[in-house]
Amino acid sequence: MNCTQPGTLSTTGSLLSGPGLDLAAIRREFPILARQVHDKPLVYLDNAATTQKPRAVLDAMAGFYEWSCANVHRGVHTMSDRATTLYEQARLSVAGFIGAGSPREVVFVRGATEAINLAAHCFGRQNVGPGDEVIVTWMEHHANIVPWQILCAQTGASLRVVPISDAGELRLEAYEKLLSRRTKLVALGHVSNALGTVNPVQRVIDMAHQHGAAVVVDGAQAVAHVDVNVHDLDCDFYAFSGHKVFGPMGIGILYGKLRHLEAMPPWQAGSDMIETVTFEKTSYAPAPLKFEAGTPNIEGAIGLAEAVKYLEALGMSEVVSHEKALTKYAVERMQECKKITIHGCLDLSKKCGIIPFSVKGLSSHDVALICDNYGIMIRSGYHCAQPLHQQVLKLQSSDRASFYIYNTQEEIDRFVEVLKEIDQL
């Protein structure tokens, strides 16, 4: 009996057309983009929250359930062996995608939030104590603030915060002054989810290491938009979520230098993270398995692997070029609207395809609901960056348009048409 998984759709077919991307071909691979909202063609501009999924990812996950559904690492039968192979091949694919030195440095988790919490719980409590300091920045997502607040409260350490400029960029001179022998850990986002600022993480990491501090990078907004190589960055930990890079929800990874992972205690206890168990003593499996207790998100890992293969087939240089062109065009068009204020960095060499903005006289939610009536999906609120909004932008909330590879200039034109209608209110 043949129980192998059938092949999934090719991720390399007809995506490139001449010197650039064939956007029509790409859009056809995302089934959801063909739908309508309120009898209007969908314009999806909420990619910083989650990206849509190509057919290759959907088919890979369905193929697992149809042909290879079994648990991993525990059975010798054909189905379990196949599931284990797919799961560990997924780890290998992700390790290659981010430039990890070994698949053993890739821990599968539910997403970037769990990855950061894992680092804080398992590494932080081992290495941070009374009188020590943890540094974060003003532009962090809540998921890269709250775990460190909890760590500091539990250990007697202090949380220090790097300010940012009016242009939404890190003030590196202030960061340098915060670093000291008391600094044990620095945590920052590679790309700000609220502003789109691409932080100089290489320099931040180098400066931290000069003081003996470890660095945790929140890469949730980065992996889909910039070329990430954790080996070249020399970060100690790197976290990202699958759903922001074409993959499914409920899967992500924590990259950690192997020496750190080997020294860290387990994250959770249960099956699959053990080597031996007696009532007197338990020994743990080697990293990364000791951090993956219980039945893992097997189909999520398979979907994530297919997602990174899809992105690699597109080519990161093509993705970056397209996104920067869209962002430049969108900024220019949005500046035609009198009531709109665009916030944060506008230097495209330091920015991803995220445009935070506000409309004079209207709440962010009102603006988003008006856009929704025209089938245009944007984000409203404080984008899980409440300190940034209240202390830096001096706003309770903002709107955010965010772009990805399947978005077009025509969609931006439709968006701006609606903004101009709002302009007249």
- At 21, give phi and psi (nearest 5°): -85, 145
How far CA 120 is from CA of 86, 149, 237, 275, 388, in Å, comes to 29, 10, 11, 24, 22
Q: Is 420 exposed, middle or buried (0-12, 13-18, 19+ CB in 10 A)?
A: middle
Q: Is the peptide bond before 265 cis (omega within 30 degrees of 0)?
A: no
Instruction: Specify whether 69 is catalytic.
Output: no
Q: How many CB atoms lie within 10 A of CB 396?
A: 13
State whether residue 158 is helix, strand or coil: strand
323: closest CA among 10, 315, 50?
Answer: 315
State whether residue 152 is helix, strand or coil: helix
Spell out the residues 6+ positions from residue 81 whose beta carbon is closer than 8 angstroms to its own: 75
Whole-number Å distance between alpha carbons of 27 and 46: 16
| Strand runs labelled E in 223-348 | 237-241, 252-256, 274-277, 282-284, 340-342
Out of 69, 152, 337, 384, which one is annotated catalytic? 384
Cα 141 from chain centroid (whole Å)? 11
The vertex-320 CA angle with 315 and 322, nearest 5°, equals 95
How far CA 97 is from CA of 93, 203, 226, 306, in Å, comes to 6, 22, 12, 11
Q: Could you give the maximum distance between any two Cα atoms of the chain, in Å?
A: 74
Q: How far apart are the first and last CA of the chain?
A: 67
Active site residues: 384
